[in-house]
Amino acid sequence: MARDEYDEDAGPVHAEIPTTFRELRACMVCSLVKTYSQFYESGCDNCTVLNMQDNRQRVTDCTTAYFEGMIAMMQPRESWVAKWRRIGRHVPGIYAVSVTGELTENIKKYLEDNNMTYCQD
């Protein structure tokens, strides 16, 4: 999608759309898909508590290159796919259908301490 096809003022704020299919990674907490650089530059749009921004180790710990399928979610509140994936409350963006990988115990503990839940399926 070209940038000028999207009216920034009219639509909801959305996560960056991946600019390349190389180095794509999915957040292991919310399934958001972006490139490694995008996670590094702006963190995860849903999981700001993870502070991935400017933290390569955190990006590596919280995202994975092993995921299947991608869903473009532009209106999460109205999408049945969003309800099915339980991501209705997340920002519009590209999401993985299934994510393989496990968060480290440190990150799980950190999420629990911050009252965040993570995918366990």
Binding positions for Zn ion, rule: CB under 5 A:
27, 29-30, 32, 44, 46-47
Give how far the C-alpha of residue 102 lies from the chain's centroid of Cα atoms, to the nearest Å. Answer: 15
Q: Which is nearer to Zn ion, 9 or 28 (CB)?
A: 28
Q: Which is nearer to Zn ion, 10 or 112 (CB)?
A: 112
Q: Which is nearer to Zn ion, 19 or 29 (CB)?
A: 29
Handedness of CA 63, 45, 15, 119 (dihedral sign): positive
Residue 95 to residue 32: CA distance in whole angstroms: 4
Residue nearest Zn ion (C-beta atom): 27
Q: Which is nearer to Zn ion, 38 or 46 (CB)?
A: 46
Q: List Cα–Cα distances, 85 to 38, 79, 81, in angstroms.
A: 23, 10, 6
CB of 5 to Zn ion, least distance (A): 26
Residue 56 to residue 36: CA distance in whole angstroms: 9
CB of 40 to Zn ion, least distance (A): 14
CB of 87 to Zn ion, least distance (A): 10
